[in-house]
Structure 1
């Protein structure tokens, strides 16, 4: 696959390289986005969860994308973290991996029978995939189906590392064309995995990255009900990640018909309370603001009212509790939350 020499004599050196790279405690995330893999920018300021304001015209396209995904959680090695807010946290050895090294990693991954070795290989490939140039190389070496195949691995830790690698590979539009086929499997993992597990979180991170632009959001239209129920039973970390996906989807007007028709638990209204984490509440309000910006015709609204359990009835209809709960939040101690509520109510 791009390297004509035999791989056997280099296995020893490959394992040495792997030990150095994977053992360095490097972290997942966006270190640098080169122009070749940059996404186009949304036209509206609410185009992506966590984007506080419109990106200035003076910023580069890569800066624009970084602003869009600035709140996507970086996945750190359990052995090491960094406080470098600039995101310059990728170990030099990973950034300097050459195409033949990535090819060797993929070859070793295909041949590996060890859970721990698979995790280390996937960890290293995921770290390398934080760079646009490596995202392209991995795709060109047909590495995406190799990595994606490990979503079916019986070991949960292998699935987690697989999802982390796929999440970074998602930050490339050409890669997304191959990665979209895994959406049903990723949604199944969210539904079937233990609640608040690393596996659920990693799966939601991948969907967040995949939904940064509107190109493949339609693949998630049947998952809205699942995501809304997840909000009610998960911890704060998972709630935040779930809302990132919902905010991304609701920022796309073309998705709104599917979102408002989704079955929604009435108890979602309980989240609009002072007791809810501010981090969760801010994203919930962003989601709500996106929903409120949708203006159905009288005929469409009347049809939606006939479905008592749909999101429209729960959050947008005149009979909804939402207005009263928003008024109560005007006295929330967090000034940002107050401002967001006031904006929705105007």
Structure 2
């Protein structure tokens, strides 16, 4: 039977998944590998299969494919890991790939399918605080991609940064990151709402954690860091001016932030 030819709705049983994983592990044919990864990814969208695929040893089989020089295979492997990572137990096995995924995300082509797939996986892996510390050394890189990426890339990076920003243990790392001053242009009124709301929430989360931690001293943050951008007068002015924004959601968000700046 051709296990790689099913539609999204065809959920494979455990025996079929075992055969599929064997096929994925044993073949060298890039077309079959890609199809098999798509099928694994589609099946991993179902919670019952997330556990079955783990128990069948599927995570390292899929994970090994992110090392493929073929960007299409790499992307499909990342997509499959992304679906598998919804399961918290799976995350324990997937976390060993985080550094590799970060390297691919930050050294690969900007706005590529691989970069987006990697960012989505990292976003899933940081929904809880368990593995966020593994991204500590990549925070500056994240901001770099945020500033240079297109709209879709910006939104995905912001989703990831928002996860990190909710964790007080990551606050200092975020505020210490060296970030280009063009970051503040994301608070301009003409910026797309899906980006603007997220950068406002980013400020809100970081500020809440910062105040909660009782850190008021700025001496350990260097010039050029996110701290000096977020807590500078220019940022405060930009946020205040958004109170006149045409979008109600943006205005409501700003109203909750203004008393704190």
From 219, 241, 245, the equivalent of 1:328 is 241
Aligned to 1:59: none
Cα-to-partner distance string for 1:123-167 (whole Å, 9 max, x where unaligned): 000011111211111111111111000011111000010000000
Runs of 4 or more consecutive aligned structure 1 residues displaced over 4 Å after TM superposition? 296-299
Equivalence map 1:220-299=2 (5 Å): 220-293=135-208, 294-295=210-211, 297=214
Secondary structure of the structure 2 residue equivalent to 1:302: coil
Q: Distance in 1 between matches of 2:199 and 2:139?
A: 14
Aligned to 1:162: 77
Q: 1:142 to 1:320 in 2, by over 3 A?
A: farther
Aligned to 1:123: 38
Aligned to 1:195: 110
Aligned to 2:219: 302
Instruction: Point out the more displaced range, 119-128 or 213-222.
Output: 213-222
- Aligned-residue offset at 1:297: 4.4
Aligned to 1:344: 257
Where structure 1 has 5 or more consecutive residues not aligned to the other structure, the ranges are 1-12, 27-90
Equivalence map 1:1-346=2 (5 Å): 13=1, 16-19=2-5, 21=6, 24=7, 26=8, 91=9, 93-94=10-11, 97-293=12-208, 294-295=210-211, 297=214, 300-304=217-221, 307-316=222-231, 319-346=232-259
Q: Distance in 2 between matches of 1:332 and 1:149?
A: 48
Aligned to 1:87: none
Structure ranking higher in helix proportion? 2
Asked if 2 retains the 8 angstrom alpha-carbon contact of 1:313 and 1:320, the reply is: no
Asked if 2 retains the 8 angstrom alpha-carbon contact of 1:159 and 1:199, the reply is: yes
Alpha-carbon RMSD: 1.3
Question: Paired residues, what number?
Answer: 257
User: Normalized against structure 2, the TM-score is what?
Assistant: 0.95
Cα-to-partner distance string for 1:261-317 (whole Å, 9 max, x where unaligned): 12111110011112211111111111111011122546742322xx1021111112x
Q: Which has the higher contact order (CA 8 A, sep 6+)?
A: 1
User: Normalized against structure 1, the TM-score is what?
Assistant: 0.72
